[in-house]
Amino acid sequence: MFNSMPQIWPCDNFLFWSKTRTLMHSYAAVFRHFWTLEDTLVGYMFNDLIWCGQEEDSGFDFSSCPEWSACRSHPVYSLWRQASQNFAEMACGNITILLNGSIVNAFNRKSMFGSVELDSLDPQRVNYVNIKVVTSLDGPHIESCSQGSIVDLIQILQSRGFHWTCTDNDQTLMILQCIRNPQHSSCQTYANTLLNRNSLTSD
């Protein structure tokens, strides 16, 4: 299937994520040049689709399937693993990774990004890996560019010869969260900071 539907994406547009799905889609909608795995043909076709085989029938079961962890060779996991590998192997130029700083192990070696995509990135094709660590408005603030599993990720990137940057609570990502919850106290403080900054700039 993958060989019959090859796709090539332009460099500098690849967006990877782990445990930041909702925010990732909002971010990609704002910066429309980004491409995620879900934007590929395979990703679009199978995203959120439940399917597996049936012992008593030759067709597919689209309503009730075991979790990925229940089967060593789960068909859905196998498909997404191959799709993730192909997507990462195509990555080139500057790529972006969104990670959740409100959980322990924001970078998890057992996640699809940590176990498949990271190892499939080619330092000869990727110029910079831009890590963006974002926490939820309500916290907790557990991990950042300087602590937790993000440090492990940076060490892996360095050992493989990647250039990298890391940003905590990117302004756009915080604004996107505030759009969904404008009355949050953090958003009020953040809005005042932006207003003061704009006032100083215009003076």
**pLDDT tens-place string over residues 81-129:** 888 999 999 999 999 999 999 999 999 999 999 999 999 999 999 999 9
- The span from the CA of 135 to the CA of 116, in Å, is 24
Flag whether 28 is in a domain: yes
Q: Is residue 9 part of a domain?
A: no
Instruction: Mark whether 11 is an active-site residue.
Output: yes
Closest CA relative to residue 88, chosen from 109, 62, 107, 114: 114
Residue 153 amino acid letter: L
Instruction: Give catalytic status of residue 92 as yes or no.
Output: yes
d(CA 11, CA 20): 22
Provide the CB-side half-sphere exposure for 170 (13 A, CA). 19
- Cα distance from N-terminal residue to C-terminal residue, the chain: 59
* Average predicted confidence (pLDDT) for the chain: 84
- The answer to the question of residue 127 being in a domain is yes
Flag whether pLDDT at 71 surpasses 90: no
Report yes or no on 150 lying in a domain: yes
| pLDDT greater at residue 17 or residue 8 | 17
Domain assignment present for 162: yes
**CB-CB contact of 52 with 75 (8 Å):** yes
Rounded Cα distance, 153 and 131, in Å: 9
> Is 5 domain-assigned?
no
To which H or E segment does residue 75 belong? helix 75-90
Cα separation, 199 vs 186, in Å, equals 20
Residue 133 structural domain: 15-202
10 is a domain residue: no
Split into its structural domains, the chain has a count of 1
Spot the catalytic one: 11, 52, 71, 178.
11
As a whole number, mean pLDDT of residues 10-28 equals 93
Catalytic site residue from 65, 92, 166, 187: 92
CATH number of the domain where residue 69 is located? 3.40.50.720
* Residue 2 within any structural domain of the chain: no
